[in-house]
Amino acid sequence: MKSAYITGANQVEIRHSEQPRPLAGELLVKIAYCGICTLEQRLYTGQRSIYLPIVAGHEASGTIVAIGSGVTSNHMVGDHVALDLANRCHICPECLSGNSNLCENRFNKGQQVLGALSEYMTVRAEQAHLLPKDLPLEHAALTEPLACSIRSLNKVGLKLGETLLICGSGTMGLLHMKAALAMGTRVIMCDIDKGRLLDAQRMGCTATLDASEIDVSIQQVKDLTRGRGVDCCIITSTAKDAARLAFQVRAPAGRINLFTSYDGRPEFPIDMNTVHRQEYQITGSEGRTEIDFNQAVRVLSNKTVGVADLISKIYPLDSIEKAMVAALEKTTYRVLVKVE
Amino acid sequence: MKSAYITGANQVEIRHSEQPRPLAGELLVKIAYCGICTLEQRLYTGQRSIYLPIVAGHEASGTIVAIGSGVTSNHMVGDHVALDLANRCHICPECLSGNSNLCENRFNKGQQVLGALSEYMTVRAEQAHLLPKDLPLEHAALTEPLACSIRSLNKVGLKLGETLLICGSGTMGLLHMKAALAMGTRVIMCDIDKGRLLDAQRMGCTATLDASEIDVSIQQVKDLTRGRGVDCCIITSTAKDAARLAFQVRAPAGRINLFTSYDGRPEFPIDMNTVHRQEYQITGSEGRTEIDFNQAVRVLSNKTVGVADLISKIYPLDSIEKAMVAALEKTTYRVLVKVE
Amino acid sequence: MKSAYITGANQVEIRHSEQPRPLAGELLVKIAYCGICTLEQRLYTGQRSIYLPIVAGHEASGTIVAIGSGVTSNHMVGDHVALDLANRCHICPECLSGNSNLCENRFNKGQQVLGALSEYMTVRAEQAHLLPKDLPLEHAALTEPLACSIRSLNKVGLKLGETLLICGSGTMGLLHMKAALAMGTRVIMCDIDKGRLLDAQRMGCTATLDASEIDVSIQQVKDLTRGRGVDCCIITSTAKDAARLAFQVRAPAGRINLFTSYDGRPEFPIDMNTVHRQEYQITGSEGRTEIDFNQAVRVLSNKTVGVADLISKIYPLDSIEKAMVAALEKTTYRVLVKVE
Amino acid sequence: MKSAYITGANQVEIRHSEQPRPLAGELLVKIAYCGICTLEQRLYTGQRSIYLPIVAGHEASGTIVAIGSGVTSNHMVGDHVALDLANRCHICPECLSGNSNLCENRFNKGQQVLGALSEYMTVRAEQAHLLPKDLPLEHAALTEPLACSIRSLNKVGLKLGETLLICGSGTMGLLHMKAALAMGTRVIMCDIDKGRLLDAQRMGCTATLDASEIDVSIQQVKDLTRGRGVDCCIITSTAKDAARLAFQVRAPAGRINLFTSYDGRPEFPIDMNTVHRQEYQITGSEGRTEIDFNQAVRVLSNKTVGVADLISKIYPLDSIEKAMVAALEKTTYRVLVKVE
């Protein structure tokens, strides 16, 4: 079978290897589509390194082609699935607190969370979420990032009728936006890139803010919320101004979730006394649990959230290099690789 | 190794078989203690049958003696564990909704939820909850029923300062009581057996009611709650009067959980209009999830709930018949078998 | 000022009285629109009686025209408001448990929850919820029934991506539907009236069921949910078959809310053991709290839920008799009286 | 009647004035006991000033002696009450979000939140929480600080079996500790004052940490939690080291509540990336709602939490100066004034 191997900085190539066989408890999945997320981009550019050569890819959909022994779940050959390529031991303190996304053993030796830029992949049965046949497999490749967005939105406890500010209008910001609109909230998008804000408008956001003009933005939020501020914020951008704005336009008891992963250890642009007096709630979210993943599957299956307009380009596996380059461009949202 | 085989109605005997070996992902556990729960009692009397002969036992503690390949969790040989002998596929709709206790595949072929009345047992790593060494293993054998009680209490959303009525003062009712007292609530115990109510008093309940005198009991609840009724009820008894009382003494918006398993299909002793007008909440609970189990482990490990006074007798494995007979007596709470 | 007095069975007339003055803590509101709800209809037909003559009307919007002494809230003359004509003492056990809709003192002497079919009305400041000026006052007259629907939906804990069955496609069923769709769920409407189901389809429901064919409906639900059943149900119809269907098509751990008020004391069409084994959750909801009311205000203000198509007819106050007759017709949804 | 007037820095004296009469909706309460909280101490020393002369006092219990017109609640002359001297308009966005402690109008002109260091006081009916007669009125004077502690604990979502770290072992820290122990958690107390830690031990805490030795404390927490850290923390001390320790010993997904009011605007001793990666939750709490207050009443009424050992001294109203001086001493917890 063919796989895309990253072999060095800005080097990726197709190599052939033997098709794997499902061990006990495993399924063999023929990959259909795989997204190129920030992690894949960083592995490609060399900004991040795990080991070399490496087959990346963790946002994937596909079809079950073989079932190993001892699988007691409902999976059948031919089923369409979205892959939740995370390791969850189900018995560490984090898994047993309902936070399997923080599983202590998720990076233990011998486990993998990448590898979907390949024609076939073996996964544990619990990693393959069943999909209805009428959900296009290219849409299903966005299940994973949508699941992370849903976890993030659940952290702020978004309620029907509230107003949400999302800082950062990239793929992740827009996925948050689509899910939040589907939950019956008003969504204000904030970014420094006017093109992205126009896209956000086309996709239905309630209002947009230019992040480069903080004072104007603060006033706009006031106007939009009768002077009260937004009920909650999600930060999907690493820009320092994004966090600063978010902490300035919240209503009393406002909730903010830090979705983005920062380089280094940036300080909070707010003090402890204000958090105390205003009863703010600050949370972080990292990845997703299997329950978040399931919610994303349901939302996509029900057509409650549509992701077609977030798929900027689709390349065949053989054009993996072009796909990587396209994903790195500022004007693209998600770039998919069509593997099958 | 020795195991206790139920071979027919009121027939149980010790047989020898080869010690099992842990397969991939499994642990070999030397059983320390195993409780004789209602299920074991019914299998012994023949009131219920699965297949014969059968090795029963599902409330167990023990020590890890071997670890199979591919175990990525933190278990080590010598660790003490409480066994959560349930099957959870982690990928069916119930598991993915946070209700792994209702896993669609929990009774699928090839899986077992019994077998702890035996010197050794292989379990999947996720079924073995780690215990601190200073928790007596005989206490740990009550983790499973405590976990079921905690799930039940979580269903009614018990809050500090509330008043709870528990109908039925057997082992399960008393476990509920101990956990509810630990949560800072007042607990009223109700039973028809005066001896059990005396025990409940000795173990710290706030008040007791004689279930055979419903009118008196209703008045007592009023007196105890300034006429308002209890905030919530748990029904652990199959007696019809238990449910009737519970539905009559609830405060507005009261919550009631049906913990007990009924024979047949008993009707509700309340009408739909009253539930509507009073905003009652009725739930059921069945078994426990791994998260409930973990909460029970923590509560026992912290000595927040003590269970020593609920262990009526302990018999060695060779005296399994005596143990079964003792468990059937009305005056015993939990009877344990010391296996090791 | 003019008011509509119900003076006997099927008798209503306009009478004149002196305009009231706001006491301490009160506002004087000029009523704009008032809906004719089931309660007004029953008072008019004589099916229900409080005292005679009576000025009914409790679903109302209007404008503040005077403010009494000692009002410390933000209200100003000229503000548009939706009226929450409920009494909440804020100090009884129900109010202090977050269930002010069940306030022990809500019907105490000297308080009123009706009277909006009148040109002016005095209300306590806390009963007047501020509205943005761009929300049409006729839409605002539906705030109260929408608030009751939102409470009902909150009782079942509806989550993004779930499937909800609503039994009864009248005004209340459709309001539930609109709010549930806004929350990102699939909504299946069930009724015996084909015209109403067509309206539900036009307003965006996911699927419809003919309540007169229970077996067909059960199969349809299975087809729509991969055989699993719906996550939750709301019953807005008093028909016995509605409840029976709802209890038969729920997924494990399904939640059902009894929204409708029944005549008499109908039995549950389900037994206690099934609720226990399946972990069903049954709740009731009655009225709304001020928090529910506020959520309805926000949803209408944000245009998240539109109610224009639920307003069947609008009559001037002088045509109150025609309005009552129109409201009683089966083909109308909400009939409003334009008071101003 | 007699009242204690603060007339300047370190100046307090008894003055006489006419007994007030209850207006519409008000009760006249004969004050029994009033605590001297930090606010009273600061007003006395001049560290804080509102206006002069001022009658302070906001932690009070008493007896209803007269009822104004238009009171529709259940209050009766002779009832014992705990006073919730807060203003809640019930109609601002904060009140309508369930956060009446942040009511926009709570400090509006003409409203008061002090005044209980006086023989009589008029309050709105909703400010007087009914008490059982067998609860000593001196204990009831601690309802308000207990209510604030309960709100704080509810912010971290404390669950049975968890481990809580409380930084600061003064009156407020110990009240948190007592409530948290009552909820079935392990509580680790941290302070720089060895005497206070000994008191905490006497009152039942699980372990104590010396705040002056951070490294040792971090190791102790690890030992107490199998290396994992505490599930949650409450900060009741303004010491910078307190916050630093709290942020260093949390388990993944740990929750921390900032209960203390800081001078100035201290920075967070943690960075945004760590909050993101570890999914920490940071909240603040300020005051209490009527629902928190009711929970405190219930906990005291049920004897679930005892506060006798937190009342260091009781002085008659005529000895108000001695009471103030005693309250300022480091070795006292709560000092009460016996007014009646």
Choose among B161, B162, B302: nearest Cβ to D161.
B302
Bond into C269 cis (ω within 30):
no
Q: Which residues of B fall within a CB distance of 8 Å from C279?
A: 99, 101-102, 155, 283-286
d(CA A107, CA A126): 17
Contact between B270 and C268 using a beta-carbon 8 Å cutoff: yes
Cβ–Cβ under 8 Å, residues A19 and A1: yes
CB contact under 8 A, A184 and C299: yes
Confirm if B257 and B235 have CB atoms less than 8 A apart: yes
Provide the sign of the torsion angle of the four alpha carbons C110, C111, C116, C122, taken in this order: positive
Subunits with 3+ C-beta pairs closer than 8 A to D: A, B, C
Q: How far is CA A305 from CA A174, A233, A298, C302, in A?
A: 11, 20, 10, 20
pLDDT given at position C304: 97
Hey, what amino acid is at D253? A
Q: What would the mean pLDDT of D14-22 be, rounded to a whole number?
A: 96
Backbone phi and psi for residue D225, each to the nearest 5 degrees, phi listed first: -125, 25
Against chain B, the chains showing at least 3 CB pairs within 8 Å are A, C, D
Cβ-based neighbours of B27, under 8 Å, separated by 6 or more: B64, B66, B67, B68, B71, B75, B81, B122, B123, B124, B125, B128
Count of other CB atoms within 10 angstroms of residue C212: 13
Task: State the sign of the Cα–Cα–Cα–Cα dihedral D122, D124, D127, D132.
Answer: positive
Residue pair A252/A278 in contact (Cβ under 8 Å)? The answer is: yes
Q: What is the average pLDDT across C282-311?
A: 98
Averaged pLDDT for residues C209-231: 94
Q: What is the pLDDT of residue D206?
A: 97
Task: Quickly tell me which residue has 């949560």 as its tokens.
Answer: B183
Which residues lie across from C62 on neighbouring strands?
C31, C81
Helix (H) or strand (E) holding C14: strand C11-16
Read off the pLDDT of each residue in D214-219 and give the average, rounded to a whole number.
92
| Mean pLDDT, residues B127-151 taken together | 98
H-run or E-run covering A174: helix A171-182
* D27, D71 Cβ separation under 8 angstroms: yes
Alpha carbon of D90: minimum distance to chain C alpha carbons (Å): 6
Tell me if B179 and D186 make a contact (CB, 8 A cut-off). Answer: no
Rounded Cα distance, B111 and C97, in Å: 45
List the subunits that have 3+ CB pairs under 8 angstroms with A: B, C, D
* Contact between chains at A132 and C182 (C-beta distance less than 8 A): no
Cα B178 from Cα C9, distance rounded (Å) = 58
pLDDT band at D55 (very low <50, low <70, confident <90, very high): very high
- The torsion defined by the Cα of C207, C212, C217 and C218, in degrees rounded to 10, comes to 140
Are the beta carbons of B74 and A88 separated by less than 8 Å? no
Q: Quick one: which of C25, C37, C89, C33 has its CA closest to C63?
A: C33
The whole-number pLDDT of residue A275 equals 97
B110: closest CA of chain D, how far (Å): 35
Counted across chains C and D, CB pairs separated by less than 8 A come out at 82
**List of long-range contacts for A170-174, beta carbons under 8 Å, 24+ apart:** A170/A196, A170/A236, A170/A237, A170/A333, A171/A145, A171/A310, A171/A333, A171/A334, A172/A145, A172/A148, A172/A236, A172/A259, A172/A260, A173/A200, A173/A234, A173/A236, A173/A237, A174/A199, A174/A200, A174/A203, A174/A310, A174/A333
Separation in Å, CA of B242 to nearest CA in chain D: 25
Q: Convert the pLDDT of each residue in C101-136 to its tens digit.
A: 999 999 887 777 899 999 999 999 999 999 999 999
| CA–CA gap between residue C192 and residue D234 (Å, rounded) | 56
Query: In Å, how far is B265's CA from the nearest CA of chain C?
Result: 5
Instruction: From chain C, pick out residues whose CB is under 8 angstroms from the CB of D24.
Output: 23-24
User: How far apart (Å, rounded) are the C-alpha atoms in residues A246 and A261?
Assistant: 16
Tokens of C94: 């129900």
Confidence at residue A240, expressed as pLDDT on a 0 to 100 scale: 84
Q: What is the mean pLDDT of residues A24-30?
A: 96
Percent of chain D with pLDDT over 70: 100
* Separation CA D29–CA A188 (nearest Å): 50
Q: What pLDDT is recorded for position A177?
A: 98
Q: DSSP assignment, residue A163?
A: E
Q: Does position B308 have pLDDT exceeding 80, yes or no?
A: yes
In angstroms, rounded to a whole number, what is the distance separating the alpha carbons of residues C204 and C214?
Answer: 23
Q: Does B74 sit within 8 Å of A87, measured CB to CB?
A: no
For C312, what's the count of Cα atoms within 13 Å in the CB-facing half-sphere?
A: 20
Residue type at B205 in one-letter notation: C
What pLDDT is recorded for position D242? Answer: 85
Which of the four pLDDT bands, split at 50, 70 and 90, describes residue D240? confident
Q: What is the pLDDT of residues D290-332, one digit of tens each?
A: 999 999 999 999 999 999 999 999 999 999 999 999 999 999 9
- Predicted local distance difference test score (pLDDT) of residue A297: 98
Nearest residue on chain D to A94, alpha-carbon basis: D252
* DSSP codes joined into one string, A193-245: -HHHHHHHHHTT-SEEEETT-HHHHHHHHHHHTTTS-EEEEEE----HHHHHH
pTM to 2 decimal places: 0.97
Q: Which residues of C touch D73 (CB under 8 A)?
A: 89, 91-92, 105
Cβ of B304 within 8 Å of Cβ of D132? The answer is: no
Say if CB B171 and CB B184 are below 8 A apart: no
Q: At what angle do helices C143-156 and C171-182 cross, to 10 degrees?
A: 60
Rounded Cα distance between D270 and D250, Å, is 12
Query: Taking CA atoms, what residue in D is nearest to A288?
Result: D279
Name the token pair of C171: 């005004």
Whether B53 and B7 have beta carbons less than 8 Å apart is answered as: yes
Kindly state the percentage of chain D with pLDDT values over 90.
93
* pLDDT beyond 80 at B109: no
Helix (H), strand (E) at residue D137: helix D137-140
pLDDT (mean) for A311-331 = 97
- The residue among D165, D194, D50 whose CA lies nearest residue D111 is D50
Distance (Å) from the C-alpha of residue A258 to the closest C-alpha of chain C?
21
Q: What is the pLDDT of residues D65-120, one digit of tens each?
A: 999 998 989 999 999 999 999 999 999 999 999 999 999 999 887 777 899 999 99
* Whole-number percent of chain B with pLDDT over 70: 100
- Residue D183 structure tokens: 């909820």
Q: Helix C194-202 to helix C171-182 angle, to the nearest 10 degrees?
A: 30
| D4, amino acid identity | A
Substitution target from A270, A272, A285 for chain D, most D beta carbons within 10 A = A272
In this structure, of A55-59, C183-187, C241-245, D207-211, the range with the lowest mean pLDDT score is C241-245
Residue D187, H or E segment: strand D186-191
Average pLDDT of chain D is 96
Peptide bond into A316 cis (omega under 30): no
Which residues, in sequence order, are CB contacts of B274 under 8 Å at separation 6+? B280, C265
d(CA B229, CA D267): 48
Of B102, B260, B277, the CB nearest to C279: B102
Q: Which two tokens stand for residue A74?
A: 């409902």
The rounded distance, in Å, linking the Cα atoms of A101 and C95 is: 39
- Per-residue pLDDT, D340: 82
CB C214 within 8 A of CB C192: no
* Residue from the list D132, D184, D206 with its beta carbon closest to the beta carbon of B184: D184
**Nearest CA among C312, C256, C237, C37 for reference residue C147:** C37
- Give B318's Cβ-side CA count (13 Å radius): 0
Average pLDDT over residues B167-176: 97
DSSP C51-104: SSSEE---EEEEEEEEE-TT--SS--TT-EEEE------SSSTTGGGT-GGG-T
Please tell me the predicted confidence (pLDDT) of residue A235: 97
- Of the residues B79, B154, B160, the best mutation for testing chain D's interface (the one with the most D CB atoms within 10 Å of its CB) is B160
DSSP codes joined into one string, C286-308: -S--HHHHHHHHHHHHTTSS--G
Residue C75: which pLDDT band, with cuts at 50, 70 and 90? very high
* CA-only gyration radius of chain D, Å: 20
Taking an 8 Å cut-off on Cβ atoms, the answer to whether A74 and B294 are in contact is no
Query: Is D126 within 8 Å of C90 when comparing Cβ atoms?
Result: yes
For residue A156, give every residue at least 6 positions away whose Cβ sits within 8 Å of its Cβ, in sequence order, or none. Answer: A164, A232, A233, A234, A255, A256, A257, A281, A283
| Mean predicted confidence (pLDDT) in C79-85 | 98
pLDDT at D137: 98
> Chain A residue with minimal CA distance to B292?
A96
**Count of C-beta atoms within a 10 Å radius of residue D195:** 11
Considering only CB atoms, which residues of chain B are within 8 Å of chain D? 132, 150, 159-163, 179, 182-186, 206, 226, 295-296, 298-299, 302, 304-305
Contacts of C283 in chain B (CB under 8 A): 275, 279-282
Contact A237, A173 (CB under 8 A): yes
Evaluate if residue C149 carries a pLDDT over 90.
yes
